[in-house]
Amino acid sequence: MHPQFNIHSDIRQANTLPGNFYNNESVYQASKEKIFARTWQYAADASDVAEPMDTFPFILLKNYINEPLVFTRDKEGITRCLSNVCTHRGKIIVEKPGKGRMLTCGYHGRCFRLDGSFKSMPEFEQVAGFPSEQDHLSKIPMGEFSNLLFVSPEPNDSFENYFRPMIDRVGWLPLHELKFSAEHSRDYFIDAHWALYCDNYLEGFHIPFVHPALNDALDFEKYEYEIFDYCNLQLGIADEGTAYFDIPEGAPYYGQKVYAYYFFLFPNMMFNFYPWGLSLNVVQPLAVDKTKISFRTYLYNNSATPDIPTIHQTEMEDEAVVESVQIGLQSRYYKHGRFSPTMEQGVHHFHSLISQFLK
């Protein structure tokens, strides 16, 4: 039996998640099905299955959910996400990206169409009641935003309800033009619980104390927050001399000098929109005190080069703080904290969602 975590709906009265949330193995394991399997996760870029008969296998949250899946694109141009496990004996069907008119298991020759339906199987003529519904490949709910593909094994709510606030606020950007830049992308590994990394991202409270370069670029006094059902936004306003968006009339925040839109999508994705493009940060649990963060950079054509040294320096500063907190939360003297009603609305929202999902 893992502990119950209750977060008061009134931030002025609420306590944070207790320290044992971040070091309890049973809670970490329960979060796999109760949180991650029920929410939307980044899976691939649309360019990975851009042409008819493309197939792209992947493991959803490797080392945590570990679900083998495959994207397919049929000759009509329809993209689907399917289970990549043969319904005969469980072998992985598609081992590497490629093309094919069908999916063929290399173990005993069972074949599936690109929509996941069973096609054929040798030596099964005498099997009673075959094929049945269970012989088809399961279809996985999926959605697409800005040429990015997302899936959820058992979504608690629709893709639309998760992504709508982001679409409404940055949909005016030419998001379809964004191209992945491997040169400006990298992975980080930290010795801390996945949620601690998210906690830190979800408030600008620490910026003046931890990030001197970022603090110089932002007008900290004008930092804004918006809270939605499964998403929240931190709006960074540019300080004098810092580049900002040219927001069209009629769009949200028209007339403001927005340096960056920092969107957090529950439970583990950060969409950081800058004038040069998008930095997508995907937080992937590896162990109760180990986390991988993938920084995926997407650029507009002819856009300015992202300030990678500053982004890297900010990440190093964040990691040092988060790893220090991970050590501190193991103290027998720490129980829980309180929230700043003005600066920690995003953290309160995040803790509230964790509490709801774990129930």
Q: Where in the chain is the domain with CATH 3.90.380.10?
A: 175-358
pLDDT of the residue at 325: 93
pLDDT of the residue at 209: 65
pLDDT of the residue at 246: 94
Q: Which two tokens stand for residue 224?
A: 């804004």
Q: How far apart are CA 171 and CA 164, in angstroms?
A: 10
pLDDT of the residue at 289: 97
Q: Which fold has domain 41-144?
A: Rieske Iron-sulfur Protein (2.102.10)
Q: How far apart are CA 331 and CA 323, in angstroms?
A: 14
Q: Where in the chain is the domain with CATH 2.102.10.10?
A: 41-144
Measuring CA to CA, which residue among 319, 317, 269, 265 is closest to residue 290? Answer: 319
Q: Which fold has domain 175-358?
A: Naphthalene 1,2-dioxygenase Alpha Subunit; Chain A, domain 1 (3.90.380)
pLDDT of the residue at 164: 97
Residue ranges, the chain, pLDDT below 50: 1
Residue that is written with structure tokens 């906690």 in the block: 199
